[in-house]
Amino acid sequence: MENVHYLEQFTSRKEKTSLDDVPDSLNEWMKRYMQLAVIGVRSEEVTRKIGLHLKRFLEFFIKSYGHDRISTCLKRDVLAWQRSLQSQGLAPATINNHMASLSAFTTWVQTQDPNQFPAGDPAQGIRELGLPPLEPRALSDEQVRSLKNVCDRLERFHQLKGRRWKGRKAPLKTYRGGGSIQRIWCHLPNKWKMT
């Protein structure tokens, strides 16, 4: 109980900075968000990216409306920004990162002052863009040949160990790679042998 008087020194950053005096400005709210929720909490690289994403939204908003009043920001503005990023040719993953940064900001503002967005959180309910399917990656015929050559040079691949392999030949395993069916030597237990 004697150390309780030190608790006054350990206050959160939210208590030190009042948000009551923040004007109706996206720019000012973004600055407060960066100071209170991002800088010192996230890594420098992530902090820089979040700052860049928010700056891009701010520039888009000012270009669209000629002002930066946060109270006029609506869901349609966020959707228009998403379409604008798509028209610039950015990849879906990059656009999703931008939207995640903006969504974190608007959620934070909504938590700090629910009256800032009269129509509610403008980024809430906006879905991420679908990512294109990943292209399968397989070894080319040359890579398979190279892998076989390396394996043939390793002594342990030629040695059969354990009672199961006594007097038996290692089975062949078939798999698809490089667009054609390949066969390589594998030391598999009997129950896994391909017939």
Kindly report, residue by residue over 13-54, the tens digit of the pLDDT: 444 456 778 888 999 999 999 999 999 999 999 999 999 999
CATH number, domain 10-112: 1.10.150
Where exactly does CATH 1.10.150 map onto the chain? 10-112
Least confident of 28-32, 94-98, 102-106, 173-177: 173-177
Let me know: does 170 contact 162? Beta carbons within 8 Å. no
CB burial string 148-180: b at 16+ within 10 A, e below: eeeeeeeeeeeeeeeeeeeeeeeeeeeeeeeee
Q: Residues 132-161: what's their mean pLDDT?
A: 76
pLDDT tier at 137, thresholds 50, 70, 90: confident
Greater pLDDT, 82 or 177? 82
Distance of CA 41 to the CA centre of its chain: 17
